[in-house]
Amino acid sequence: MPDHTAADSAGDRPRVLHLISDPRRAGAQNLARDLHRELRRRGQASALCALAPRPAVPAPRPAAARSGPCTVGGTAPDACGQPCPDPAGPRVTVLGPGRLRPATLRALRSAARAADVVLAHGSDTLAACALALAGTGTPFVYVSVGHPRYWTANRLRRLRGAALMHRAAAVTTLTDEARQVLEEQFRLPAGKVRVIPNSRAAESYPPADGRAERRAARHALGLPADVLLVAWIGAIAPEKRLDLALDVLDRLPDVRLAVAGDGPLRESLARHPAAARAHFLGALPDPVPLYRAADALLLTSDNEGVPGALIEAALAGVPAVATDVGWVREVVRDGATGALVAPGDPLALAEALAKVLACNRAGLGAAARAHALAHFELGAVVDAWQRLVGEVWTGDPSSH
C-alpha cells in the first residue's frame, strides 16, 4: 500500500495520492516528487505511486507470482526483482506491470481508498484515473505539464482528451494561454482549469560551488574534466531533436555533449558523425550531478510546454540555450539568463551556444538562478496546490 504520513491530528487536511506513470526522472515525475516532499514537510498526508516500472527495465513477473506491489526508493531490490532506481528519493509504490493493465487499475482503485484526492501527473495517469476511479467517490486532479498541442493535434485526440478531462474534478496547467486553449478546445467549464506554474524545490538543485565541485561531478559521471561540457536532457525521441544538438556539436569542435536520456532514436543517433564527442549516459536516476558538471544546457525541441529541465538547470545556476517554442521564454530570458533560437536551425543554435560559452557563464548562471527562484521555486506555489486540493476535497471553492 502507499506510504502515507500520519493524518493531521485535527483531521482537517485531505490525504493526497500523487500518481506518476513510472519512477523515471522526468518532468511530470520530478514535479510530483518535489510536491510530495513539500506537502509531507508541511504535515499533510501524502503518498506517491507509479502505474508501472520504468520502461527500460525488463518486464516484471506476472502479478500472481509477485509478493506485492513494488516499492521504489529503498536500498533493496523491489518486488519486481529489479534494483530500486532512486535510493535517495521518496518511496514510490509501483502498482502493476503496465500502465493501463487491468491489474494495475485494480491496484490504483485500491490505493485510492486511502486518499481523499488523487493528483494525476501526466497524460497516462489521466486515462488510468478516469478508468480506475469511476464510481469510487475519490476525486482526481489532472496535472498537465505539456503543451495543449498534444491534445489538439487531431479530432480523435480532442475527443479522447475531452472525455477524460471532463471526468477530472479539476485540471491544472502551466500558463493562462494553455488554460484558454484547454477551455476552448474541450469545452471545460469556467473555473475547472487552474493555472499553477511549473516549479521545483530549489534545495534539490544546488549549484556547483566552484571548479573543484564541477570536476568532482564530472568524475562521478565518467566525463572529461577540462573541456567545455554541454548537457542535453530528455527522451531521445523525434520531437526532442537530439539530431540538432549533434549537428551543433559538429560545428563546435572544442565542445563535448553529455546526453542524459534514452529513447527510440538512440541507436541511430549514436552513429551521427559528431557522436564521438557525445557521451550517452542513459536515463540518469538523478540529473543533479549532470547540472553540477555542465557549463550550459542545450534544449533543441520542436515543441514544449514549460520544460522542467530548464527550471532545474536554472536553479543549479546553469545557463541555457533553447529553441523558442511553447513557453520556454518564461524560463530562459534571451541575453540575460541564456539564449533563445528559432527551432530547427542548427547554425543559429551553434552560434548562440558559442556566445554563451564564451561570455560570462557564471553571471548568466547566477541570473538564471535568481529568475528561477523568483518565479519557479516550489515553495512559492505550494499554497496554491493546497488550496486547490482543499477545494476539490470539500467540493466548495469558497471554503479554502
Domain 202-375: homologous superfamily in CATH: Glycogen Phosphorylase B; (3.40.50.2000)
Confidence grade of residue 89 (pLDDT, cut at 50, 70, 90): low
Q: What is the mean pLDDT of residues 311-340?
A: 96
* 284's grid cell: 540518469
pLDDT at 56: 38
pLDDT digits (tens, 9 = 90+) for 196-251: 999 998 998 999 988 899 999 999 999 999 999 999 999 999 999 999 999 999 99
Whether 202-375 and 16-196+381-399 are alike in CATH topology: the answer is yes
More confident residue, 156 or 113: 113
pLDDT at 84: 38
Which of 12-26, 82-96, 97-111 is least confident? Answer: 82-96
SS3 for the chain is CCCCCCCCCCCCCCCEEEEECCCCCCHHHHHHHHHHHHHHHCCCCEEEEECCCCCCCCCCCCHHHCCCCEEECCCCCCCCCCCCCCCCCCCEEECCCCCCCHHHHHHHHHHHCCCCEEEEECHHHHHHHHHHCCCCCCCEEEECCCCCHHHHCCHHHHHHHHHHHCCCCEEEECCHHHHHHHHHHHCCCCCCEEECCCCECHHHCCCCCCHHHHHHHHHHHCCCCCCEEEEEECCCCHHHCHHHHHHHHHHCCCEEEEEECCCCCHHHHCCCHHHHHEEEEECCCCCHHHHHHCCEEEECCCCCCCCHHHHHHHHCCCCEEEECCCCHHHCCCECCCEEEECCCCHHHHHHHHHHHHHCCHHHHHHHHHHHHHHHCEHHHCHHHHHHHHHHHHHCCHHHC
pLDDT at 86: 47
CA distance 93 to 106: 14
Enumerate the domain spans of the chain.
16-196+381-399, 202-375
Q: Are 294 and 234 in contact (CB under 8 A)?
A: no
pLDDT at 159: 86
pLDDT at 73: 39
More confident residue, 67 or 139: 139
CA distance 290 to 231: 7
The pLDDT of residue 12 is above 90: no
pLDDT digits (tens, 9 = 90+) for 53-85: 965 343 333 333 333 444 333 322 333 323 334
pLDDT at 113: 94
* CATH class of the domain comprising 16-196+381-399: alpha beta
